[in-house]
């Protein structure tokens, strides 16, 4: 049974980041440490905000959005992984860029973008068995795509994609996803919340071992569909009161 814990806070604006941690065993905060960038070529202008146009299937000119859709609670989504005694914090910037902070080496790295900025519709981070995964919902050519990726040697590896027949139903719903890893580190829960009141929330589970998707029953309260659902993982205990 764990008798102590540690909290980590990261503050500042890229590329000027720093961190400090709280030790419950000593009831004290550490001094503040600077994080040094490992991206020698890092430039604030890397976040492309240029308007992009493309043709839809019907031949109409469409303006692609360069604004990420995320609920305020997930605006600075972050996870921490511990692998080979290395503690790494991953978090999203306001532009959707993923930053990896190596607390052991006191450095940070801007990870390569998964898609061009105008395709990043909604994004979230999860941790499973010491690995960081990215869940990305995007819209393009009048259809939606929900995919999961992981990072290997600074390259993104595609892990899974929600079947098109299921993901297409999310198109045009102005939705946001929030996700969590759980069930022994082998499953990822994706909650889809739509801004449209007439659209119900959707819940998808991806099995990393079986590489299979499933959808959970929709949630209703008093006969009415719930307006917002957030994914949360916890360790159940017999003595817990719920």
Structure confidence at residue 49 (pLDDT):
47
Rounded CA separation 242/219 (Å): 18
Which residue is it, tokens 């139903």?
Answer: 169
- What's the token pair of residue 94? 């306001």
- What's the token pair of residue 190? 């994706």
Q: Determine, yes or no, domain membership for 42.
A: no
| 134 touches 118 (CB < 8 A) | no
Residue 146 sits in which domain range? 51-225
Taking only Cα atoms into account, the Rg of the chain, rounded to an integer number of angstroms, comes to 19
Rounded CA separation 192/229 (Å): 8
* Choice between 154 and 8, residue whose per-residue pLDDT is larger: 8
Structure confidence at residue 240 (pLDDT):
55
Q: Determine, yes or no, domain membership for 25.
A: no
Considering the chain, what is the average pLDDT of its residues?
79
Kindly indicate the confidence band of residue 135, based on its pLDDT and cuts at 50, 70 and 90. Answer: very high
Rounded CA separation 51/116 (Å): 12
Q: Determine, yes or no, domain membership for 93.
A: yes
Kindly report which listed range (2-16, 82-96, 227-241) carries the lowest average pLDDT score. 227-241
* Residue 14 clears pLDDT 70, i.e. is over it: yes
Kindly indicate the confidence band of residue 51, based on its pLDDT and cuts at 50, 70 and 90. Answer: very low
* Residue 54 clears pLDDT 50, i.e. is over it: no
Helix, strand or coil for residue 166? helix
Structure confidence at residue 38 (pLDDT):
77
Residue pLDDT, tens place only, 213-234: 999 887 777 777 676 777 777 6
Q: Determine, yes or no, domain membership for 239.
A: no
Kindly indicate the confidence band of residue 72, based on its pLDDT and cuts at 50, 70 and 90. Answer: low
| 117 touches 48 (CB < 8 A) | yes
Rounded CA separation 82/122 (Å): 26
| 181 touches 126 (CB < 8 A) | yes
Q: Which helix (H) or strand (E) holds 179?
A: strand 175-182
Q: Determine, yes or no, domain membership for 20.
A: no
Closest CA to 208 of 233, 234, 185, 180: 185
The whole-number average pLDDT for the span 30-53 is 65
* Residue 200 clears pLDDT 90, i.e. is over it: no
Rounded CA separation 210/167 (Å): 19
* Residue 162 clears pLDDT 70, i.e. is over it: yes
Q: Determine, yes or no, domain membership for 205.
A: yes
* Residue 77 clears pLDDT 50, i.e. is over it: yes
Distant-in-sequence, close-in-space partners of 16: CB < 8 Å, separation ≥ 6: none
The 8-class DSSP code of residue 163 comes to: -
- pLDDT > 90: what percent of the chain? 30
The total of structural domains in the chain comes to: 1
């Amino acid at each position: 049974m764990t008798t102590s814990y540690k909290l980590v806070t990261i503050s500042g604006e890229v590329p000027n980041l720093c961190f400090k941690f709280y030790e419950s065993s000593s009831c004290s905060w550490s001094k503040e440490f600077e994080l040094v960038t490992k991206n020698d070529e890092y430039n604030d202008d890397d976040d492309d905000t240029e308007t992009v146009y493309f043709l839809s299937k019907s031949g109409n000119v469409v303006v692609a959005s360069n604004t990420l859709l995320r609920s305020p609670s997930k605006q600075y989504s972050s996870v921490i992984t511990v692998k080979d005694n290395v503690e790494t914090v991953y978090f999203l910037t306001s532009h959707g860029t993923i930053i990896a902070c190596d607390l052991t080496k006191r450095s940070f790295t801007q990870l390569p973008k998964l898609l061009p900025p105008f395709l990043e519709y909604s994004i979230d981070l999860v941790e499973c068995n010491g690995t960081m995964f990215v869940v990305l919902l995007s819209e393009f050519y009048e259809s939606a795509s929900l995919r999961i990726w992981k990072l290997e040697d600074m390259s993104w590896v595609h892990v899974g994609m929600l079947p098109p027949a299921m993901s297409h139903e999310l198109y045009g719903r102005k939705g946001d996803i929030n996700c969590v890893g759980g069930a022994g580190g082998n499953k990822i829960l994706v909650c889809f919340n739509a801004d449209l009141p007439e659209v119900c929330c959707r819940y998808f589970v991806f099995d990393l071992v079986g590489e299979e998707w499933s959808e959970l029953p929709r949630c209703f309260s008093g006969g009415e569909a719930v307006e917002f659902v957030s994914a949360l993982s916890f360790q159940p205990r017999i003595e817990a009161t719920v």
